[in-house]
């Protein structure tokens, strides 16, 4: 009934926010909820993609969410659940009436059900498993036996395969005569008599080749077989590095058990990046905007607690120089500058190092070269800022000695920052700790402690 702005926008707008939910659409939907006009609500929601509906549910408050879901009733479909942020998902499952939930879940592919179940509490999990049809339940339970975050959880179990000796004609006839091809598939996987995958042929190549051509002669150059237990982050890396579109998954006997497609790999890549960004900032990687205050507080607390310890350590260093500060109060004024510059330079190095480790660009082959580079960069930027700070020290406090002290401390701290920024993440990675998670705390501790100690220590030697 309504000429919907959202539906058209993505196809014609050229502005930056072509895909953001627009405020007017949200207001119209909430109005329909207010006046409890179910037909209007359905008409407004109909053109929206499940992912957009999920975003909408995440953006409105809990009370509106409950009313909207109740009014929307049976229209609620499984894809919306799949798209919802975890923290909201449990709440929504609690609101849905059991029949609607059962229908919604039955619509989903088994890999999406697995994804849904992973994050739920046991009672909710059991309730959902119960409503599945028997064959689906078996498939889902089988997937859940694979380790979390493994290829086994990510894969679809429906595969399209052909014996390696077939030709194009046989393969096309087979495909044309099967009843239950998956809706989305991109390759025919060639298998040997033991069901081990030996090559991929794209549907495009199949379509474009004569009937008598052997499948074998059409296989893709890039063919990667993924063990079912491989970590999903590694899977995403392989898709991105080798431009894979789909890849067969094999069990411990190298038999084909499923297939992973690029859209799933893309979602994992997106999650892993998000996790890295949040971890680098000291935020729990599962944080999201729809978390409540108490959850958010809890997620932020640990990193702040770690930071408090490092800050107190730095203060202990300062306290050893109380006498010097009482005599030359300018030291108290200038000391945070040295520490802050070191912290920033360290963060720069460690971010580059963490990314390079994640993309496997930093290896034992180039580690020494990279360390040397970081130290040199520290020296050069250290000298540049030493000059600036030296001049500021002299102009502000009229003391060339003080200028010299801050300049020397700056060089020392920037070199240490470059070194710590690269060595700490590499060491953490070696001992199996995610460098994105922990490097920041260590590097800042080093730059704070070294910064204060170098500046105040030199000051005692030179000025007093």
- Judging by beta carbons within 10 Å of its beta carbon (0-12, 13-18, 19+), is residue 124 exposed, middle or buried? middle
Residue 243 in the binding site for a copy of itself (CB under 8 A): yes
Nearer to a copy of itself, 36 or 263 (CB): 263
Q: State whether the Cα torsion 449-451-454-456 is positive or negative.
A: negative
Using rule CB under 8 A, residue 267 touches a copy of itself: yes
Bridge partners of residue 188, in order along the sequence: 201
Shortest gap between Cβ of 180 and a copy of itself (angstroms)?
A: 8
Angle at CA of residue 224, ends 218 and 249, nearest 5°: 110
Beta carbon of residue 247, minimum distance to a copy of itself (angstroms, whole number) = 10
For residue 373, state whether it binds a copy of itself (rule: CB under 8 A): yes
For residue 341, what are its two tokens? 């510059």
Q: How far apart, in whole angstroms, are the C-alpha atoms of residue 30 and residue 370?
A: 55
- Out of 93, 334, 409, 416, which residue is the one contacting a copy of itself (CB under 8 A)? 334
> Mask of contacts with a copy of itself, 192-231, x by CB under 8 A?
----------xxxx-xx-------------x-xx-x-xxx
Task: Please give the distance of CA 350 from its chain centroid, rounded to a whole number.
Answer: 18
Closest to a copy of itself by CB, 138 vs 313, is 313
Question: The tokens of 62 are what?
Answer: 């809990």
According to DSSP H, which parts of 320-398 are helical? 322-327, 330-358, 367-397
Closest CA to 352 of 266, 240, 435, 450: 435
98 burial class (0-12, 13-18, 19+ CB within 10 angstroms)?
exposed
CB of 127 to a copy of itself, least distance (A): 27
- Does residue 369 bind a copy of itself (CB under 8 A)? yes
Report if residue 185 touches a copy of itself, rule: CB under 8 A: yes
Interface pattern 32-71 for a copy of itself (x via CB under 8 A): -----------------x-xx--x--xxxx----------
Check residue 5 for interaction with a copy of itself (CB under 8 A): no
Site string for a copy of itself, 138-167 (x = CB under 8 A): ----------------------x-------
- Of the candidate spans 35-43, 97-105, 137-145, 349-357, the one that interacts with a copy of itself by CB under 8 A turns out to be 349-357
**Contact, 370 vs 422, CB < 8 A?**
yes
Closest by CA to 164, choosing from 215, 219, 225, is 215
Is 322 a binding residue for a copy of itself by CB under 8 A? The answer is yes
344 makes contact with a copy of itself (CB under 8 A): yes
> Count of residues for the chain?
464
Nearer to a copy of itself, 122 or 212 (CB): 212
Element (H, E) at 145: none
Binding of residue 268 to a copy of itself (CB under 8 A) = no
């Amino acid at each position: 009934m309504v000429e919907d702005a959202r539906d058209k926008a993505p196809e014609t707008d050229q502005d930056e926010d072509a895909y953001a939910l627009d405020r007017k659409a949200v207001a119209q939907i909430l109005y329909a909820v207010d006046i409890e006009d179910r037909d209007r609500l359905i008409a407004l929601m109909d053109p929206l993609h499940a992912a957009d509906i999920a975003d909408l549910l995440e953006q409105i408050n809990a009370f509106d969410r409950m009313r909207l879901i109740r009014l929307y009733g049976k229209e609620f479909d499984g894809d919306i659940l799949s798209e919802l942020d975890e923290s909201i998902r449990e709440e929504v499952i609690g609101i849905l009436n059991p029949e609607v939930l059962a229908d919604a879940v039955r619509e989903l592919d088994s890999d999406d059900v697995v994804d849904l179940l992973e994050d739920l509490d046991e009672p909710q999990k059991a309730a959902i498993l119960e409503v599945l049809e028997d064959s689906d339940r078996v498939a889902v339970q089988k997937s859940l036996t694979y380790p979390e975050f493994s290829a086994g959880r990510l894969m679809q179990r429906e595969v399209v395969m052909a014996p390696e000796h077939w030709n194009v004609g046989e393969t096309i006839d087979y495909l044309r005569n099967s009843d239950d091809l998956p809706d989305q598939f991109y390759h025919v996987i060639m298998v040997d008599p033991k069901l081990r995958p030996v090559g991929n042929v794209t549907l495009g190549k199949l379509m474009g080749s004569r009937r008598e051509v052997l499948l074998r002669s059409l296989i893709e150059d890039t063919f990667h077989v993924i063990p079912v237990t491989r970590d999903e982050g590694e899977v995403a890396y392989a898709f991105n590095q080798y431009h894979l579109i789909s890849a067969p998954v094999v069990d411990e006997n190298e038999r084909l058990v499923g297939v992973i497609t690029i859209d799933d790999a893309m979602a994992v890549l997106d999650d892993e990046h998000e996790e890295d960004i949040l971890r680098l900032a000291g935020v729990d990687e599962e944080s999201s905007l729809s978390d409540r205050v108490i959850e958010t507080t809890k997620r932020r607390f640990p990193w702040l607690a770690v930071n408090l310890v490092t800050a107190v350590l730095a203060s202990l260093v300062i306290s050893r120089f109380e006498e010097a500060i009482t005599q030359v109060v300018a030291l108290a004024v200038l000391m945070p500058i040295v520490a802050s510059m070191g912290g920033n330079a360290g963060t720069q190095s460690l971010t580059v190092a963490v990314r390079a480790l994640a993309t496997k660009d930093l290896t034992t082959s180039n580690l020494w070269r990279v360390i040397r580079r970081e130290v040199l960069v520290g020296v050069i930027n250290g000298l540049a800022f030493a000059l600036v700070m030296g001049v500021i020290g002299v102009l502000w406090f009229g003391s060339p000695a003080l200028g010299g002290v801050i300049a020397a401390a700056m060089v020392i701290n920037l070199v240490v920052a470059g070194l710590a920024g690269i060595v700490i993440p590499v060491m953490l990675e070696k001992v199996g700790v995610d460098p994105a998670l922990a490097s920041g705390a260590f590097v800042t501790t080093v730059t704070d402690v070294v910064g204060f100690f170098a500046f105040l220590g030199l000051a005692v030697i030179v000025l007093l």
